[in-house]
Structure 1
Amino acid sequence: MAAQHYERTGHPFTARYAEAALARISLEPGSRILDVAAGTGALALVAARTGAQVLATDFSPAMVARIAAAGIPNVEVRVMDGQALALPDGAFDAVFSIFGVIMFPHWRKGLAEMARVTRPGGHGVVATWQERGAATFLLLGHIRRDLFPGRDSMAMPEAVGALSDPDDFAREMIAAGYRDPSIEPVTHSYELDVADLDDPDTLFGMSPDWTSLSDEEKADVVAEVRRMAKGAPVLPVPSTALIGVARR
């Protein structure tokens, strides 16, 4: 159920940031593109429409299989650890990671691997969330702080905190082997379907911010989301990402 819910809601949401990332560089038909930690393929599938030759990699065989199931001829998929890419130096015109590398335990190694396989003059493009995350994670964290002040919230991945400041983000891209980084905020609203509150365990997933609550507290959270929606069928949750673009 959670995977199906993500396919319906999360993939279209992240695809909007993938499109924003792709719009920041110029690609030509035949450009060699790598999508690191591709997940459900939001970037890879959008990039394929440009006529680029896309390699989508992910540590998860299930995610790779989802992308392969799309059956797009100019998209190749491979199971691969983004912290140790089994790919030659300088093999790609552009290397992307849309909310992928930021989840790695050794995310700096992931950034360095992205730079290693980018050709000289090519681009590296990385998207990260700001410090409090996005979508249902952002909303749930906000509500927890209001309803249960003083409670610890879910710790975000280390990279999210380290890259939340644009200057720090730029320094990390340079340290990885890129140059001339440009960091821009991009905001889109996650459209939360209020009807999904009928199954809040699926809506909020396995987030510790949700699973650590008692049944009474969960009911309070659901009631607060309904109050915020004010009877509307959809509650927009504005979510800001930072997109970093740099040259090799």
Structure 2
Amino acid sequence: MREFENPDRWDKAAQHYEKTAHPFTARFAETALTHVPLTSHSRVLDVAAGTGALAHAAARSGAQVLAIDFSPGMVARIAAAGLPNVDATVMDGQALALPDASFDAVFSIFGVIMFPDWRKGLAEMARVTRPGGHGVVATWQEQGAATFLLLGQIRRKLFPERETMAMPEGVKALGDPEGFARELVAAGYRVSRIDRVIFDYVLDVAMLDDPDTLFGMSQDWVSLNDAEKAAVIAEARHMAGDEPILPIPSTALIAVGER
């Protein structure tokens, strides 16, 4: 099992994820929400919700939101927010225990793309979307995002002979708009738009003092020896120069389909 497919790994990372990744992914979630009209009568499903960036943003519209994730630790962070119109439960996005056509809008922001069977995940999203409802999926383009993207860039510079961690199959398959559209159609959606969206991940350079917290979920980091890790950190500090913040431009595709 790859690390990103292990719920125990995400359980351990949940609190840190909420503090670091959640504010970043929330920017993409909020962009995704601009494409789907929600009201207080809308029923919304957030698949592989993480700590609830999309769920929280959708809840501000007054919609009733169900957030699901395979990691109990992530679900606990969503529930801890105590939002009255957000329910959170542990569930496998590849086999949703939910009725057909039961949601007005179904979202997965950088979630379904990580599934071992991501095509089944997309098909399940479509199955539970009502006719006329919307499905919205966000995926990373290029070599991922944020600290994963930074680490890959530095590794290729410092250790060009070393292979970097392969991107999940779903990310690779959905990384170009034409392939993305084909897969959504195969899942059961009619594609209305696919947008390319870029936001900076803002890395606090002080966090490089604890690099395992930043990079520890990546096999590209775990596979380095101590000297190589020190070289990576030195290069990241060099990239930042005298600035306390290192911006990492990260590119996503956000696709909107109609059922």
TM class by smaller structure:
over 0.9
Verify: 1:174 aligned to 2:174, yes or no.
no
- Secondary structure of the residue aligned to 2:76 is helix
- Find out whether 1:8 has 2:19 as its counterpart: yes
1:39-85 Cα offsets, whole Å, 9 max, x none, are 10010011000000001111112211111111111111121111111
Matched, 1:243 2:247: no
Q: 1:119 to 1:97 in 2, by over 3 A?
A: same
- Structure-1 separation of matches of 2:21 and 2:180: 24
User: In the alignment, is the contact (CA less than 8 A) between 1:57 and 1:77 conserved in 2?
Assistant: yes
Q: Give, in whole Å, the separation in 2 of the partners of 1:28 and 1:2.
A: 33
| 1:103 pairs with one of 104, 107, 114 | 114
- Between 226-235 and 1-10, the greater mean CA deviation after superposition: 1-10
Check conservation: 1:131, 1:156, Cα contact below 8 A.
no
Cα RMSD over matched residues?
A: 1.1
List alignment gaps of at least 5 residues for structure 2. Answer: 1-11
1:73 aligns with 2:84: yes
Q: 1:212 aligns with which of 220, 223, 235?
A: 223
Match of 1:43 in 2: 54
SS in structure 1 opposite 2:98?
coil
Matched with 1:132 is 143
Does residue 19 of structure 1 match 2:30? yes
2:17–2:51 contact (8 Å) kept in structure 1:
no
Q: Residue 190 of structure 1 corresponds to which residue in structure 2?
A: 201
CA contact (8 A) 1:112 1:176 kept: yes
**Structure 1 contact 186–240 (Cα < 8 Å) conserved:** yes
Residue 98 of structure 2 aligns to which amino acid in structure 1?
L
Aligned to 1:118: 129
User: Counterpart in 2 of 1:146?
Assistant: 157
Residues 130 and 240 of structure 1 are in contact (CA less than 8 Å); yes or no, is this contact kept in structure 2?
yes
Match of 1:221 in 2: 232
The whole-number CA distance in structure 1 between the counterparts of 2:154 and 2:86 is 40
Contact 2:191 2:255 in 1 (8 A): no
Structure 1 CA distance for aligned equivalents of residues 168 and 35 of structure 2: 25
Q: CA deviation at 1:7?
A: 2.1
TM, length-normalised to structure 2:
0.93
Conserved? CA contact 1:132–1:141, under 8 Å: yes
Q: Secondary structure at the match of 2:56?
A: helix
Matched residue type, 1:37: A
1:122 and 1:4 mapped to 2: Cα distance?
A: 33
For 1:131 and 1:84, the matched residues in 2 are separated by 29
Equivalences, count: 248
Structure 1 contact 2–205 (Cα < 8 Å) conserved: no
Amino acid at match of 1:192: L
Q: Tell me how far apart the structure 2 counterparts of residues 39 and 184 of structure 1 sit (CA, whole Å).
A: 22
Q: How many percent identity over aligned positions? A: 74
Find runs of 4+ consecutive structure 1 residues off by over 4 angstroms: none
* Residue type at the aligned position of 2:125: M
What is the CA–CA distance in structure 2 between the aligned matches of 1:236 and 1:103, rounded to whole Å?
24
Cα distance, 1:111–1:2 mapped onto 2, change above 3 Å: closer
1:206 positional shift: 2.6
1:2 deviates by 4.8
Q: Following TM superposition, by how much is the alpha carbon of 1:3 offset from its aligned partner in structure 2, in angstroms? A: 4.1
TM-score, normalization: structure 1? 0.97
